[in-house]
Chains A and B, each alone.
Chain A
Amino acid sequence: MSTRRIVVTSGKGGVGKTTTTANLGAALAKRGHRVVLVDADIGLRNLDLVLGLEKRIVFDIVEVAEGRCQLRQALIKDKRFDSLAILPAAQTREKEAITAEQFAAVIAGLDEFADFVLIDCPAGIETGFRNAVAGAKEALVVTTPEVSAIRDADRVIGKLLEVPMPISLIVNRLRPEMVRSGDMLAVEDVCEVLNATLVGVVPDDEEIIDTTNRGEPIVLDESNRLRTIYDKIARRLEGEDIPITSFEKPTFFKRLIGAITTG
Chain B
Amino acid sequence: MIEFFKRLFGPSDSGATAKQRLQLVLMTDHLALAPEMIDAMKRELVEVISRYVEVDREKVEVDFERHDHALAMMANVPILGVARPSERAPEPPAPAVVAAQPVAAGAPPLQQRKRRKKTQRAPA
How many residues on B have C-beta within 8 angstroms of the other chain's C-beta atoms? 23
Complex CA gap A147/B124 in Å reads 21
Contacts of B121 in A (CB 8 A): 158
Are B22 and A250 interface neighbours, CB within 8 A?
A: no
Tell me the count of chain A residues lying within 8 A, CB to CB, of chain B: 28
Bitwise, A110-150 to B at CB < 8 A (1) or not (0) is: 00000000000000000000000000000000000011001
Q: Does chain B have a CB within 8 A of A240? A: no
Across the interface, B15 reaches (CB within 8 A) one of A162, A182, A260, namely A182
Q: Is A182 a contact of B8 with CB atoms below 8 Å?
A: no
Tell me the complex Cα distance, A75–B29, Å: 40
**B7 at the binding interface (Cβ < 8 Å):** yes
Q: Which of A185, A258, A259 contacts B18 (CB 8 A)?
A: A185
Per-residue B-contact encoding for A151-179, CB less than 8 Å = 1, 0 else: 10011001000100000000000000011
Main secondary structure of the interface of B (DSSP, over half): helix
Chain A positions 239 through 251: 1 when the CB is less than 8 Å from some CB of chain B, otherwise 0: 0000000000110
The closest CB in chain A to the CB of B19 belongs to: A189
Query: Is A256 in contact with chain B by the CB < 8 A criterion?
Result: yes
Cross-chain contact B22 with A193 (CB below 8 angstroms): yes
Q: Which residue of A lies closest to B26 (CB)?
A: A154
**Structural contact, A259 and B4, CB atoms closer than 8 A:** yes
B16 within 8 A of A: yes
Nearest Cβ on chain B to A246's Cβ, whole angstroms? 15
- Give the CA-CA distance A185 to B8 in the complex, in Å: 18
Contact in complex: A193, B19 (CB < 8 Å): yes
Contact A263 B25 (CB under 8 A): no
Q: Once bound together, how far apart are the Cα atoms of A158 and B124, in whole Å?
A: 8
Complex CA gap A183/B11 in Å reads 9
Asked whether, in the complex, the Cβ of A151 is within 8 Å of the Cβ of B25, the reply is yes
CA A198 – CA B109 in complex, angstroms?
Answer: 52
CB-nearest residue of chain B to A146? B18
Bound state CA distance, A262 and B8, in angstroms? 11
- In the assembled complex, B57 has its CB within 8 A of some CB on chain A: no
Give every chain B residue within 8 A of A181 (Cβ-Cβ): 7, 10
- In order of increasing CB-CB distance, the 5 nearest A-B pairs are A259-B7, A182-B13, A259-B8, A182-B10, A263-B4
Known: A182-B14, A183-B14, A185-B18. 16 other contacts (CB 8 A): A146-B18, A147-B22, A150-B22, A154-B26, A154-B29, A158-B124, A178-B15, A183-B13, A189-B19, A192-B19, A193-B22, A249-B15, A259-B7, A259-B8, A263-B3, A263-B4
Return 28 A-B CB contacts under 8 Å, by A number: A147-B21, A147-B22, A150-B22, A151-B25, A151-B26, A151-B29, A158-B30, A158-B124, A178-B15, A181-B7, A182-B10, A182-B12, A182-B13, A183-B15, A184-B18, A186-B15, A189-B18, A189-B19, A192-B19, A193-B19, A193-B22, A193-B23, A193-B26, A255-B10, A256-B8, A260-B4, A263-B3, A263-B4
